[in-house]
Structure 1
Amino acid sequence: MIRSLLTLAVCLVSLTLHAEDKDDGKLRIIVFGAHPDDAEYKTAGTAVKWARLGHHVKLVSVTNGDVGHWNEAGGPLAMRRTAEAAACAKKLGVTSQVLDIHDGELVPSLENRKLITRVIREWKADIVITHRPWDYHPDHRYVGVLLQDAAFMVTVPFICPDVPHLTKNPVFLYSSDGFQKPYPFTPDIAVSVDDSFEQKLDGIHELTSQHYEGGANGSEEHVKSVPPASDEVGRRAWLKRRWGARQGSEAEKYRELLIKLYGEERGKAVKYAETFEVCEYGRRPSAEEIKQLFPFYDAK
Structure 2
Amino acid sequence: MKIFHYLIALLFINFTPEAFSQERPLRIIMIGAHPDDCDIKGGGTAALFVQMGHQVKFVSVTNGDAGHMKEGGGMLAKRRMAEAKEAGRRLGVTYYVLDHHDGELLATLPIRLEIIRLIRNWDADVVISHRSNDYHPDHRYTAILVQDAAYMVGVPNIAPDTPPLRKNPVFLYFQDNFQKPYPFKADIAVDITTVLDKKIDAMDAHESQFYEWLPWIGNYVAEVPADKVERKAWLKSKRIGAPNSAVLEALKTWYGETKVLNIKYAEAFEICEYGAQPSKEEIKRLFPMLKN
Relative to the length of structure 1, the TM-score reads: 0.87
Post-superposition shift, 1:267? 1.7
Aligned residues: 271
Find out whether 1:210 has 2:206 as its counterpart.
no
Structure 2 vs 1, CA of residues 278 and 74 (structure 1 numbering), >3 Å: closer, same or farther? same
* SS of corresponding position for 1:213: helix
Q: Tell me which of 238, 246, 262 is aligned to 1:269.
A: 262
Aligned CA RMSD, in angstroms, stands at 1.6
**How far is 1:239 from its partner?**
1.0
User: Cα distance, 1:252 vs. partner?
Assistant: 4.4
* 1:254-290 C-alpha deviation (Å, 9 max, x unpaired): 2111111101110232100000000000000000000
C-alpha distance in 2 between matches for 1:223 and 1:181? 30
For the residue of structure 2 that corresponds to 1:59, the secondary structure is strand
Q: Which amino acid aligns with 2:163?
A: P
1:237 pairs with 2:250: no
Partners in 1 of 2:62 and 2:171 — Cα distance?
A: 20
Give yes or no for contact 1:214–1:222 (8 Å, CA) kept in 2: no
2:8 corresponds to? none
Deviations, residues 8-59 of structure 1 (Å, cap 9, x unaligned):
xxxxxxxxxxxxxxx9701000000000111111000000000011101000
- Which residue matches 1:8? none
How far apart, in 2, do the equivalents of 1:232 and 1:224 lie? 15
Report the Cα distance in structure 2 between the residues aligned to 1:239 and 1:110, rounded to whole angstroms: 37
How far 1:233 moved relative to its partner? Answer: 1.9
TM-score, normalised to structure 2, is 0.89
Asked if residue 201 in structure 1 is aligned to residue 200 in structure 2, the reply is yes
Contact 2:107–2:141 (8 Å) recurs in 1: yes
CA distance in 2, matches of 1:82, 1:127: 24
CA distance in 1, matches of 2:82, 2:256: 40
**Aligned position for 1:256:** 249
Measure, in 2, the Cα distance between the counterparts of 1:295 and 1:219: 38
Matched, 1:158 2:154: no
Distance 1:44 1:283, change over 3 A: same
Aligned to 2:273: 280
Task: Give the gaps of 5 or more residues in structure 2.
Answer: 1-21
**The residue matched to 2:209 in structure 1 has which SS?**
coil
Tell me, in whole angstroms, the C-alpha distance in 2 between the residues paired with 1:253 and 1:237: 26
CA distance in 2, matches of 1:41, 1:176: 10
Tell me if 1:71 matches 2:70.
Answer: yes
Percent of aligned pairs with the same residue?
A: 53
How much does 1:219 deviate? 6.2
In the aligned structure 2, how far is the partner of 1:65 from the partner of 1:80? 9
Letter in 1 for 2:101: H
- Aligned pairs for 1:150-189 (under 5 A) are 150-189=149-188
Q: Judging changes above 3 Å, is the alpha-carbon distance between structure 1 residues 264 and 141 closer, same or farther for their aligned structure 2 residues? A: same
Q: Deviations over 1:144-167 (max 9, x none)?
A: 001110000000011111011100
Q: Does the 8 Å CA contact 2:117/2:159 hold for their aligned counterparts?
A: yes
Query: Counterpart of 1:281 in 2: which secondary structure?
Result: coil
Q: Does the 8 A contact of 1:259 with 1:268 survive in 2?
A: no
1:87 CA displacement = 0.4
Give ranges in structure 1 of 5+ residues lacking alignment. Answer: 1-22
1:251 shift after superposition: 4.9
